[in-house]
Chain A
Amino acid sequence: MGLIKHTPMRLQQVSDQDLVKLYIGGEEYVIEELLRRHKSKIFTSIYLLVKDQYLAEDIFQDAFIKVINTLRSGRYNEEGKFLPWVMRIAHNLVIDYFRKEKRTPTITSADGTDVLNLIQIHEESAEERMLREQTHTDLRKMIHHLPDEQKEVLIMRHYADLSFKEIAELTDVSINTALGRMRYALSNLRKMMNVKEVSVSRS
């Protein structure tokens, strides 16, 4: 690649892998292009997992500092793609956060649905009439109420744009398990939407 200066227009045509090589070669400015390409995918994925803007900002920043440190140290493995690699780092940081937090356990049914959360959604939509108009807010809540494994797959597939193979590798499960979790996530979202529709039609 050499140390050829790239104009912003040309940088957009350079692959992630080549941008990484340029960064390792001393072209620090290319990190801006990598951030521009992937920031919303990575940030949204973190945010939807931790449910807090400020915490998501911290984890996003820590993930990129780890990325930069790894690139500088020469420990970056070129076999993988850049985005799944960053998502793995961010995912591990999210897991570390939840381990420290020791969240309260949830009661799940056979299909993985959080029973208490379904009831809670039903009550909330009855109490908070304004939220009914805010579809995106409701949908975000529904995603938050999915069991963790299903939420993870949905977020990584839709927001981080990872393949099921990449998700399977990242979460250490088989591709079929990742596909099954996605199916359950969609099925549970559909159930939650039906519960919401029923509660709206009754009020």
Chain B
Amino acid sequence: MTKTFTPTNLKNLSKPEAFDQQNQDDQKFYDGIKQQLDKLYREPSAETIAKILSYAKKR
């Protein structure tokens, strides 16, 4: 009797598994760049905030 086997590294992922893998890769990549993305936060100038507050308090 001949023994057969399938090498696991050549096995194609079924579609749902591939989709999950893609999701995991995306999430991993996103988690990896979150800190870099956070460094791009900016604040409006104090002058702009003052103008809005002044307008908000006028009735």
A residues bordering B, Cβ < 8 Å?
Answer: 23, 28-29, 31-32, 35, 39-40, 43-44, 47-48, 53, 56-57, 60-61, 64-65, 68, 72, 135-136, 139-140, 143, 158-159, 183, 186-187, 189-190
Known: A61-B51, A186-B29, A190-B29. A40 touches B56 (CB 8 A): no
Chain A binding surface SS class = helix
Contact B42 A68 (CB under 8 A): no
Contact B56 A39 (CB under 8 A): no
Q: Determine the residue in chain A with the shortest Cβ distance to B34.
A: A158
Q: Determine the residue in chain A with the shortest Cβ distance to B39.
A: A136
- For A187, the chain B residues whose CB sits under 8 A away are 26
Min C-beta distance of B30 to chain A, whole Å: 6
- For A23, the chain B residues whose CB sits under 8 A away are 56
B18 interface residue per 8 A CB criterion: no
Contact A158 B42 (CB under 8 A): no
State in angstroms the CA–CA spacing of A165 and B56 once bound together.
Answer: 30
Min C-beta distance of A43 to chain B, whole Å: 5
- For A61, the chain B residues whose CB sits under 8 A away are 44, 48, 51-52
Min C-beta distance of A70 to chain B, whole Å: 12
28 contacts between A and B (CB under 8 A): A28-B56, A31-B52, A31-B56, A31-B57, A32-B53, A35-B53, A39-B43, A39-B49, A40-B43, A43-B43, A43-B44, A44-B40, A44-B42, A48-B40, A53-B42, A57-B44, A60-B44, A61-B44, A65-B52, A135-B36, A136-B39, A140-B40, A143-B40, A158-B34, A159-B37, A183-B22, A187-B26, A189-B29
